[in-house]
Protein backbone atom coordinates (compact mmCIF):
# COMPACT_ATOMS: atom_id res chain seq x y z
CA UNK A 1 0.00 0.00 0.00
CA UNK A 2 1.34 3.39 -0.99
CA UNK A 3 1.53 5.90 1.84
CA UNK A 4 0.81 9.59 1.59
CA UNK A 5 3.88 11.80 1.67
CA UNK A 6 2.36 15.19 0.87
CA UNK A 7 -1.20 16.36 1.27
CA UNK A 8 -2.33 19.87 0.45
CA UNK A 9 -5.96 20.71 1.30
CA UNK A 10 -7.40 23.98 -0.01
CA UNK A 11 -4.00 25.65 0.34
CA UNK A 12 -3.58 29.32 -0.48
CA UNK A 13 -0.60 31.61 -0.06
CA UNK A 14 -1.08 35.37 -0.01
CA UNK A 15 1.87 37.78 0.06
CA UNK A 16 1.57 41.56 0.12
CA UNK A 17 -2.07 41.29 -0.87
CA UNK A 18 -1.48 39.10 -3.93
CA UNK A 19 -2.52 35.48 -4.14
CA UNK A 20 0.50 33.38 -5.07
CA UNK A 21 -1.20 30.00 -4.66
CA UNK A 22 -4.95 29.63 -4.85
CA UNK A 23 -6.93 26.72 -3.33
CA UNK A 24 -4.45 23.95 -4.06
CA UNK A 25 -5.55 20.36 -3.42
CA UNK A 26 -2.73 17.92 -4.08
CA UNK A 27 -1.70 14.49 -2.82
CA UNK A 28 1.64 12.75 -3.38
CA UNK A 29 2.26 9.14 -2.38
CA UNK A 30 5.61 7.44 -1.88
CA UNK A 31 5.43 5.51 -5.16
CA UNK A 32 4.98 8.68 -7.27
CA UNK A 33 7.53 10.91 -9.01
CA UNK A 34 6.09 14.32 -9.91
CA UNK A 35 7.16 16.98 -12.37
CA UNK A 36 5.81 20.47 -11.55
CA UNK A 37 5.58 22.80 -14.55
CA UNK A 38 4.25 26.28 -15.19
CA UNK A 39 5.22 29.73 -16.43
CA UNK A 40 7.52 32.07 -14.48
CA UNK A 41 5.76 33.29 -11.36
CA UNK A 42 3.15 30.50 -11.41
CA UNK A 43 3.95 29.58 -7.80
CA UNK A 44 6.11 26.46 -8.32
CA UNK A 45 8.88 27.44 -5.91
CA UNK A 46 6.34 28.56 -3.31
CA UNK A 47 4.67 25.13 -3.54
CA UNK A 48 8.05 23.41 -3.12
CA UNK A 49 8.88 25.59 -0.11
CA UNK A 50 5.79 24.28 1.67
CA UNK A 51 6.61 20.69 0.70
CA UNK A 52 10.03 21.32 2.26
CA UNK A 53 8.37 22.49 5.49
CA UNK A 54 10.13 25.82 4.96
CA UNK A 55 6.95 27.90 4.64
CA UNK A 56 3.40 27.76 5.99
CA UNK A 57 0.26 28.34 3.95
CA UNK A 58 -1.83 31.47 4.54
CA UNK A 59 -4.90 29.23 4.64
CA UNK A 60 -5.68 25.54 4.24
CA UNK A 61 -3.59 22.67 5.58
CA UNK A 62 -0.36 21.05 4.44
CA UNK A 63 0.63 17.62 5.70
CA UNK A 64 4.26 16.61 5.10
CA UNK A 65 5.14 12.99 5.91
CA UNK A 66 1.95 12.74 7.92
CA UNK A 67 2.58 15.85 10.03
CA UNK A 68 0.57 19.05 9.72
CA UNK A 69 2.64 22.21 9.19
CA UNK A 70 2.06 24.55 12.11
CA UNK A 71 1.54 21.63 14.49
CA UNK A 72 4.91 19.93 14.15
CA UNK A 73 8.47 20.89 14.99
CA UNK A 74 9.83 21.41 11.47
CA UNK A 75 13.34 20.67 12.70
CA UNK A 76 12.20 17.08 13.27
CA UNK A 77 10.64 16.93 9.82
CA UNK A 78 13.37 18.50 7.69
CA UNK A 79 15.99 15.76 8.14
CA UNK A 80 13.59 13.43 6.35
CA UNK A 81 13.34 15.75 3.36
CA UNK A 82 16.08 16.04 0.74
CA UNK A 83 16.04 19.39 -1.06
CA UNK A 84 18.31 20.40 -3.92
CA UNK A 85 18.13 23.91 -5.32
CA UNK A 86 20.49 26.55 -6.64
CA UNK A 87 19.75 28.70 -3.58
CA UNK A 88 20.94 25.92 -1.29
CA UNK A 89 24.00 25.26 -3.47
CA UNK A 90 25.10 28.88 -2.98
CA UNK A 91 25.58 28.03 0.69
CA UNK A 92 28.24 25.43 -0.12
CA UNK A 93 31.64 27.11 0.35
CA UNK A 94 33.62 27.12 -2.91
CA UNK A 95 36.69 25.74 -1.17
CA UNK A 96 34.87 22.83 0.49
CA UNK A 97 35.74 19.42 -0.91
CA UNK A 98 33.05 17.41 -2.64
CA UNK A 99 33.29 14.69 0.02
CA UNK A 100 32.87 17.21 2.86
CA UNK A 101 29.97 18.96 1.17
CA UNK A 102 28.12 15.65 0.93
CA UNK A 103 29.14 14.60 4.44
CA UNK A 104 28.00 17.87 6.01
CA UNK A 105 24.48 17.10 4.82
CA UNK A 106 24.53 14.12 7.18
CA UNK A 107 26.13 16.10 10.01
CA UNK A 108 23.66 18.92 9.84
CA UNK A 109 21.03 16.26 10.42
CA UNK A 110 22.79 14.38 13.19
CA UNK A 111 24.46 17.45 14.69
CA UNK A 112 27.72 15.55 15.05
CA UNK A 113 31.07 17.33 15.15
CA UNK A 114 33.60 17.02 12.39
CA UNK A 115 35.91 14.93 14.59
CA UNK A 116 33.18 12.39 15.01
CA UNK A 117 32.68 11.71 11.33
CA UNK A 118 32.27 8.01 11.12
CA UNK A 119 33.75 5.64 8.61
CA UNK A 120 30.28 4.46 7.79
CA UNK A 121 29.27 8.00 6.75
CA UNK A 122 32.32 8.29 4.54
CA UNK A 123 31.60 4.96 2.96
CA UNK A 124 28.03 5.99 2.30
CA UNK A 125 29.12 9.39 0.95
CA UNK A 126 31.53 7.73 -1.46
CA UNK A 127 28.81 5.33 -2.59
CA UNK A 128 26.37 8.20 -3.13
CA UNK A 129 29.03 10.14 -5.07
CA UNK A 130 29.62 7.21 -7.40
CA UNK A 131 25.85 6.75 -7.87
CA UNK A 132 25.71 10.32 -9.14
CA UNK A 133 28.66 9.96 -11.51
CA UNK A 134 31.11 11.68 -9.16
CA UNK A 135 33.63 8.94 -8.45
CA UNK A 136 37.09 10.44 -8.40
CA UNK A 137 35.70 13.84 -7.37
CA UNK A 138 35.78 13.40 -3.56
CA UNK A 139 38.82 15.63 -3.03
CA UNK A 140 37.94 18.30 -5.61
CA UNK A 141 36.87 21.75 -4.38
CA UNK A 142 33.17 22.43 -4.96
CA UNK A 143 33.96 25.77 -6.60
CA UNK A 144 36.22 24.10 -9.18
CA UNK A 145 33.45 21.88 -10.57
CA UNK A 146 31.51 22.41 -13.77
CA UNK A 147 27.84 23.40 -13.53
CA UNK A 148 26.79 19.83 -14.31
CA UNK A 149 29.06 18.38 -11.63
CA UNK A 150 27.85 20.94 -9.08
CA UNK A 151 24.23 20.01 -9.80
CA UNK A 152 25.04 16.35 -9.20
CA UNK A 153 26.76 17.21 -5.91
CA UNK A 154 23.62 19.10 -4.83
CA UNK A 155 21.52 16.00 -5.47
CA UNK A 156 24.08 13.72 -3.82
CA UNK A 157 23.84 15.96 -0.73
CA UNK A 158 20.06 15.77 -0.81
CA UNK A 159 19.96 11.97 -0.98
CA UNK A 160 22.84 11.43 1.47
CA UNK A 161 20.46 11.25 4.44
CA UNK A 162 18.21 8.70 2.74
CA UNK A 163 15.21 11.06 2.76
CA UNK A 164 11.56 10.03 2.56
CA UNK A 165 10.84 12.87 0.17
CA UNK A 166 13.20 14.33 -2.44
CA UNK A 167 12.53 17.85 -3.73
CA UNK A 168 14.40 19.18 -6.76
CA UNK A 169 14.08 22.79 -7.87
CA UNK A 170 15.11 23.03 -11.52
CA UNK A 171 17.98 20.54 -11.26
CA UNK A 172 18.87 20.84 -14.96
CA UNK A 173 18.68 24.63 -15.25
CA UNK A 174 21.67 26.18 -17.06
CA UNK A 175 23.17 22.83 -18.11
CA UNK A 176 24.45 22.21 -21.62
CA UNK A 177 22.84 19.39 -23.60
CA UNK A 178 25.40 16.75 -22.62
CA UNK A 179 25.32 17.64 -18.92
CA UNK A 180 21.51 17.77 -18.99
CA UNK A 181 21.23 14.35 -20.58
CA UNK A 182 23.70 12.90 -18.11
CA UNK A 183 21.74 14.31 -15.17
CA UNK A 184 18.36 13.30 -16.57
CA UNK A 185 19.72 9.78 -17.14
CA UNK A 186 20.95 9.53 -13.55
CA UNK A 187 17.67 10.91 -12.21
CA UNK A 188 15.76 8.42 -14.34
CA UNK A 189 17.73 5.51 -12.89
CA UNK A 190 17.13 6.83 -9.38
CA UNK A 191 13.43 7.47 -9.99
CA UNK A 192 12.91 3.95 -11.33
CA UNK A 193 14.30 2.30 -8.21
CA UNK A 194 11.74 0.85 -5.78
CA UNK A 195 13.97 1.99 -2.92
CA UNK A 196 13.77 5.64 -3.95
CA UNK A 197 11.55 8.07 -2.06
CA UNK A 198 8.74 10.17 -3.48
CA UNK A 199 10.21 12.82 -5.78
CA UNK A 200 8.86 16.26 -6.69
CA UNK A 201 10.84 18.12 -9.35
CA UNK A 202 10.14 21.66 -10.52
CA UNK A 203 11.19 22.21 -14.11
CA UNK A 204 10.65 24.64 -16.96
CA UNK A 205 11.10 22.08 -19.71
CA UNK A 206 9.32 18.81 -20.44
CA UNK A 207 12.62 17.67 -22.04
CA UNK A 208 14.07 17.59 -18.51
CA UNK A 209 11.54 15.06 -17.20
CA UNK A 210 13.40 11.77 -16.63
CA UNK A 211 11.97 8.38 -17.51
CA UNK A 212 10.50 6.77 -14.42
CA UNK A 213 8.60 9.94 -13.52
CA UNK A 214 4.88 9.28 -13.27
CA UNK A 215 2.83 12.41 -12.51
CA UNK A 216 2.59 16.06 -13.50
CA UNK A 217 1.27 19.14 -11.73
CA UNK A 218 0.66 22.08 -14.05
CA UNK A 219 0.32 25.48 -12.42
CA UNK A 220 -0.64 28.82 -13.91
CA UNK A 221 -1.07 32.02 -11.91
CA UNK A 222 -1.24 30.10 -8.64
CA UNK A 223 -3.94 27.67 -9.73
CA UNK A 224 -3.77 24.01 -10.73
CA UNK A 225 -4.49 23.51 -14.43
CA UNK A 226 -3.96 19.75 -14.31
CA UNK A 227 -2.63 17.24 -11.80
CA UNK A 228 -2.33 13.50 -12.12
CA UNK A 229 -0.67 10.70 -14.08
CA UNK A 230 1.10 11.86 -17.24
CA UNK A 231 -1.53 10.30 -19.52
CA UNK A 232 -4.16 12.74 -18.27
CA UNK A 233 -2.21 15.70 -16.88
CA UNK A 234 0.68 16.13 -19.31
CA UNK A 235 -0.84 16.60 -22.75
CA UNK A 236 -0.75 19.13 -25.58
CA UNK A 237 -4.06 20.48 -24.26
CA UNK A 238 -2.96 20.94 -20.63
CA UNK A 239 0.34 22.56 -21.71
CA UNK A 240 -1.53 24.83 -24.12
CA UNK A 241 -3.80 25.98 -21.31
CA UNK A 242 -0.94 26.36 -18.82
CA UNK A 243 1.35 28.40 -21.06
CA UNK A 244 -1.34 30.25 -23.00
CA UNK A 245 -0.08 29.34 -26.45
CA UNK A 246 -0.72 26.34 -28.71
CA UNK A 247 1.76 23.64 -27.77
CA UNK A 248 2.29 20.22 -29.23
CA UNK A 249 3.70 17.60 -26.89
CA UNK A 250 5.38 14.45 -28.15
CA UNK A 251 6.60 11.47 -26.19
CA UNK A 252 9.14 8.86 -27.15
CA UNK A 253 10.38 6.05 -24.89
CA UNK A 254 9.26 7.89 -21.76
CA UNK A 255 10.89 11.23 -22.68
CA UNK A 256 8.93 14.31 -23.73
CA UNK A 257 9.44 17.25 -26.02
CA UNK A 258 7.23 20.27 -26.64
CA UNK A 259 7.04 23.07 -29.19
CA UNK A 260 4.66 25.86 -30.06
CA UNK A 261 2.60 25.18 -33.15
CA UNK A 262 2.43 28.73 -34.40
N1 LIG B 1 7.61 37.20 -0.35
C2 LIG B 1 6.91 37.53 -1.45
N3 LIG B 1 6.20 38.69 -1.49
C4 LIG B 1 5.50 39.03 -2.58
N5 LIG B 1 5.43 38.27 -3.70
C6 LIG B 1 6.12 37.13 -3.71
C7 LIG B 1 6.88 36.69 -2.60
N8 LIG B 1 7.44 35.49 -2.92
C9 LIG B 1 7.05 35.22 -4.17
N10 LIG B 1 6.25 36.20 -4.66
C11 LIG B 1 5.60 36.23 -5.98
O12 LIG B 1 4.84 35.06 -6.09
C13 LIG B 1 4.80 34.60 -7.44
C14 LIG B 1 5.17 33.14 -7.48
O15 LIG B 1 6.54 32.99 -7.16
P16 LIG B 1 7.30 31.59 -7.29
O17 LIG B 1 8.75 31.86 -7.07
O18 LIG B 1 6.65 30.58 -6.43
O19 LIG B 1 7.02 31.24 -8.81
P20 LIG B 1 7.72 30.18 -9.77
O21 LIG B 1 6.63 29.47 -10.47
O22 LIG B 1 8.68 29.34 -9.00
O23 LIG B 1 8.49 31.11 -10.76
P24 LIG B 1 9.84 30.90 -11.61
O25 LIG B 1 9.51 29.90 -12.65
O26 LIG B 1 10.10 32.25 -12.19
O27 LIG B 1 10.90 30.44 -10.66
C28 LIG B 1 5.72 35.52 -8.21
O29 LIG B 1 4.95 36.45 -8.90
C30 LIG B 1 6.57 36.18 -7.13
O31 LIG B 1 6.96 37.47 -7.52
**Per-residue pLDDT at 86:** 82
Instruction: Give the pLDDT mean for 65-87.
Output: 90
Please list every protein residue whose CB sits less than 6 Å from any atom of ligand 1. 15-16, 20, 38, 40-46
Q: At what angle do helices 98-110 and 119-131 cross, to 10 degrees?
A: 120
Reported as a pLDDT band with limits 50, 70 and 90, residue 75 is confident
From ligand 1's centre to the CA of 91, what distance in Å?
21
**Nearest-atom index, ligand 1, CA of 47:** 18
pTM beyond 0.90: the answer is yes
**Per-residue pLDDT at 45:** 94
Strands (E), the chain: 4-15, 18-29, 33-37, 59-64, 67-68, 81-84, 165-169, 198-202, 215-220, 223-229, 247-252, 255-260
Q: CA-to-CA distance for 183 and 186, rounded, in angstroms? A: 5
pLDDT digits (tens, 9 = 90+) for 19-54: 999 999 999 999 999 999 999 999 999 999 999 999
Return the best residue to mutate from 22, 39, 45 for the ligand 1 pocket (most ligand atoms within 8 A of CB).
45
Whether 13 contacts 57, CB under 8 Å: yes
From ligand 1's centre to the CA of 222, what distance in Å?
9
**Nearest-atom index, ligand 1, CA of 39:** 25
Reported as a pLDDT band with limits 50, 70 and 90, residue 92 is confident
- Looking at CATH, the fold of the domain delimited by 4-260 is given as Rossmann fold (3.40.50)
From ligand 1's centre to the CA of 45, what distance in Å?
7
**Nearest-atom index, ligand 1, CA of 46:** 18
pLDDT digits (tens, 9 = 90+) for 128-138: 999 999 999 99
Return the best residue to mutate from 20, 222, 225 for the ligand 1 pocket (most ligand atoms within 8 A of CB).
20
Give 11's strand partners.
24
If we measure between CA atoms, which residue out of 34, 27, 36 comes closest to residue 2? 27
**Per-residue pLDDT at 85:** 87
Instruction: Give the pLDDT mean for 117-140.
Output: 87
**Residue spans per domain, the chain:** 4-260
**Per-residue pLDDT at 70:** 92
Helix, strand, or coil (residue 129): helix
Average pLDDT, the chain: 91
Give 71's strand partners.
none
Which residue has the least CA distance to atom 12 on ligand 1? 20
Kindly tell me the burial class for residue 89, based on how many C-beta atoms sit within 10 Å of its own C-beta (0-12, 13-18, 19 or more). middle
Whether pLDDT at 124 is above 60: yes
Which residue has the least CA distance to atom 30 on ligand 1? 41
Could you write out the DSSP letters of every residue in 159-189? HHT--SEEEEESTTTT--HHHHHHHHHHHHH
From ligand 1's centre to the CA of 46, what distance in Å?
7
pLDDT digits (tens, 9 = 90+) for 172-231: 998 999 999 999 999 999 999 988 999 999 999 999 999 999 999 999 999 999 999 999
**Per-residue pLDDT at 111:** 44
**Nearest-atom index, ligand 1, CA of 42:** 21
**Nearest-atom index, ligand 1, CA of 48:** 18
Which residue has the least CA distance to atom 29 on ligand 1? 41
Residues 6 or more apart whose Cβ sits within 8 Å of residue 83 = 48, 52, 54, 158, 166, 167, 169
Amino acid sequence: MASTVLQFDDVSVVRDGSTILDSIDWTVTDDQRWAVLGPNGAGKTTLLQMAAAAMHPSSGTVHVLGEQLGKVDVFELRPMIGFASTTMARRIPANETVLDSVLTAAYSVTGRWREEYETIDERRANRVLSEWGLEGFADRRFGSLSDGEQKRVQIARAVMTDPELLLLDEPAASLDLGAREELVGLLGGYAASQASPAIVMVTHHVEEIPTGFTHALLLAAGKIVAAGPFAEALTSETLTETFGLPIELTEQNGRFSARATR
